[in-house]
Structure 1
Amino acid sequence: MPSPSEPLEKLGFLTIGSFDGADPGAGHETTLQVIDLGEQLGFDSAWVRHRHLQYGISSPVAVLAAATQRTRRIALGTAVIPLGWENPLWLAEDLATVDILSGGRLNPGVSVGPPMRYDEVREALYPDTGDVEDFSYERVLRLLRFVAGEQASPFRGTAGIEEFSDRVQPHSPGLRDRMWYGGASLRSAQWAGENGLNFLSSNVVRAEESQDFAEVQRSHLETFRAHHPAGAAARASQGLVVIPTDGATPEQRAKYTAYAEARTARTATPQGPARMMFARDIVGSADQIAEALYADPGFRLVREVVFALPFSFAADDYVQILTDIATKLGPALGWRPAD
């Protein structure tokens, strides 16, 4: 997206789906209401995060299955499912089922690597196979093969009164083309491109070649497209935290500013042994946010975005933020809401 003269094509949002452990139903219902609101506002996509052993959505596929029955148009995505926790064959069945229920609107995003805090959860997750589990890119390739309809079993036919398929059922044509990879490194960007995936770039990257977040993200996007068969036409999305304040109350503006300021320190230098860099949250009017985005080298390379909602805000805050994004910020970026 090199200049304001080229309109943003797709506008989406991401939620973690927080809930109270003592009353989880209310939080899950709020998440579904937020997705429904997104459709009403004309957003192109709604995405959910994946959190294990936390007070956020632990089963995004199940939540999106519910969302398919409350929406008709909006694309539904996961950003992202960490495959270290998943059986690729079982997940392929779940994804295809939800895609069928949605009428072909599912956009599954995945990542690889050992599960978070693996030493603490290994006995619960893989008590018998923890030392031999493969957490490499091969785990993604297995999932992609099953989603694409490649053979999962050497047997196909009838046994007794039961009929068996040699591939995952249901099979959902087109789902493979809507698979995304969430990457934060040059290696991941290149691998996603070489394997024909779409690419999710978020507000977290690995500081490999620079300590300038925007420049690192730009290099990832360029690397991805340089190795993708579709080249410049390959789908890539940028995901930053943006909080427009056009319709906010004074109390909300104060809350949003305090939230961003509390997270600013981590953006100054790479964090931890992996040298992870975090983007600054952008708080301000729609015009101020649009100006900041057009100055961002990463944003100028994408035609679609998935703006992340802050983790811990109230339902009323999400309504205001999403409404301002759809009615103020989106138009300032040249975007037009879906019918």
Structure 2
Amino acid sequence: MKAFGFLSFGHHSINGQDGPDAGQVLRDSLEIAKVADEIGVNGAYFRVHHFAPQGAEPMPLLGAIIGATKRIEVGTGVIDLRYENPLHLAEEAAALDLLSEGRVALGVSRGSPEPALRGWESFGYKGEAENGSDIAREKWQLFLAAIQGYGLAQAAPLELQYPQMYQPGTPLPIFPHSPGLQKRIWWGSGTRATAEQAAKDGVNLMSSTLVSEADGSSLGELQAEQIRVYREAWEDAGHDWTPRVSVSRSIFPIVTAEDQELFGTFATSKDQIGMLEGATKTTFGRTYAAEPDVLIEQLKADPAIAAADTLMLTIPNQMGVDMNVRILDNFAKHVAPALGWIPNTEGPVVG
């Protein structure tokens, strides 16, 4: 494990009485990221959901974090492509990458189940597949072409151009363009098949917080196999750079009596099996909460953490800045070094 960061789901209260409201959660997220940058935490990543009291539009928050920090990587886990205009997203991603000087880890995918029934249709996007996988794939291919600099429109006749810059019919790419941005794009994968496709597409792998599979193996074992398939497919594809792989876990180091009181009851002894989208057996990861020496042994025994280079800690964002900073600081001081962590002193881990 070279790097670790935090993954926030951005949960907030709708009425302001059951926890922080959306505005407070956004401000808290910025403050957590600023302190995490000082600690040397490698990344600040945010989930994206729609029609739910969670984080939705990540770009304003990511831009604010970039402007307020020096080293920390910023990203998403993940943007739901079913809801996106791929060319607009490509422009935003390029601008964010340029502003941050390469401190981006933008995770995208088909997306997870949402409260809304075919909610992407309310955003103006229609497809044939019940889960929207067809439009997600189409948009993904267009997004990749856009960030790679391909021409996706044609220059108008000269008399219609203002200013007159191109010969009519010239292929026009989106602007701005950020060279190397594809090396900072991640596909969020919950299956071996999508992990293999991510390798063929030439992007990093962000293994999901769950795996759409249940055969009695642990989440770590299933993800380790997913990572193996991904890396084999990457080698077969002949890409000329080394990709990154991340996994996420819920981890609460217990260092003090107060930590025990706050987090001691969070621990679960094993992964959970459930149903996703009504029909798919799914393995959900356990929650770790223990003293550092116990956590170190538990996490070392997780084959997916051993296989990945980046670990994302899912944080209870509703508990506020101080509590989440405590979790990150405890992990950085008492657990991460034993797992091979490289503190962030210069910028994002590459390759």
Instruction: Return the alpha-carbon distance in structure 1 between the equivalents of residues 188 and 179 of structure 2.
Output: 22
Structure 2 partner of 1:166 = 172
Residues 258 and 74 (structure 1), Cα distance of their counterparts in 2 relative to 1, 3 Å cut = same
Q: CA deviation at 1:303?
A: 2.4
CA contact 1:147–1:176 (8 Å) conserved in 2: yes
Q: CA deviation at 1:206?
A: 1.4
Residues 123 and 203 (structure 1), Cα distance of their counterparts in 2 relative to 1, 3 Å cut = closer
Q: CA deviation at 1:99?
A: 1.3
TM-score by length of 2: 0.84
Residues 215 and 160 (structure 1), Cα distance of their counterparts in 2 relative to 1, 3 Å cut = closer
142-151 or 114-123: bigger deviation: 114-123
Aligned length: 326
Instruction: Return the alpha-carbon distance in structure 1 between the equivalents of residues 149 and 157 of structure 2.
Output: 16
Instruction: Return the alpha-carbon distance in structure 2 between the equivalents of residues 244 and 87 of structure 1.
Output: 40
Instruction: Return the alpha-carbon distance in structure 2 between the equivalents of residues 239 and 157 of structure 1.
Output: 51
Structure 1 partner of 2:65 = 67
Alignment pair present for 1:213 and 2:222: no
Unaligned 5+ segments in structure 1 are 1-7
Instruction: Return the alpha-carbon distance in structure 2 between the equivalents of residues 136 and 122 of structure 1.
Output: 10
CA contact 1:156–1:166 (8 Å) conserved in 2: no
Instruction: Return the alpha-carbon distance in structure 1 between the equivalents of residues 141 and 230 of structure 2.
Output: 17
Residues 231 and 271 (structure 1), Cα distance of their counterparts in 2 relative to 1, 3 Å cut = farther
Structure 1 partner of 2:266 = 259
Structure 2 partner of 1:293 = 299
Letter in 1 for 2:336: G
Residues 315 and 163 (structure 1), Cα distance of their counterparts in 2 relative to 1, 3 Å cut = same
Instruction: Return the alpha-carbon distance in structure 1 between the equivalents of residues 303 and 263 of structure 2.
Output: 25
Residues 231 and 90 (structure 1), Cα distance of their counterparts in 2 relative to 1, 3 Å cut = closer
Instruction: Return the alpha-carbon distance in structure 2 between the equivalents of residues 160 and 118 of structure 1.
Output: 42
Q: CA deviation at 1:34?
A: 0.6
Q: CA deviation at 1:184?
A: 0.8
Instruction: Return the alpha-carbon distance in structure 1 between the equivalents of residues 156 and 90 of structure 2.
Output: 18
CA contact 1:84–1:115 (8 Å) conserved in 2: no
Q: CA deviation at 1:334?
A: 2.9
CA contact 2:40–2:344 (8 Å) conserved in 1: yes
Alignment pair present for 1:277 and 2:283: yes
CA contact 2:78–2:108 (8 Å) conserved in 1: yes
Residues 162 and 39 (structure 1), Cα distance of their counterparts in 2 relative to 1, 3 Å cut = farther
Residues 166 and 34 (structure 1), Cα distance of their counterparts in 2 relative to 1, 3 Å cut = same
Letter in 1 for 2:313: F
TM-score by length of 1: 0.87
Structure 2 partner of 1:18 = 11
Give SS of 2:319's match.
coil
What is the Cα-based RMSD across aligned positions, in Å? Answer: 2.6
Unaligned 5+ segments in structure 2 are 346-351
Instruction: Return the alpha-carbon distance in structure 2 between the equivalents of residues 231 and 276 of structure 1.
Output: 34
Instruction: Return the alpha-carbon distance in structure 2 between the equivalents of residues 101 and 157 of structure 1.
Output: 33
Give SS of 2:273's match.
coil
The structure 2 residue matched to 1:90, chosen from 88, 95, 99, is 88
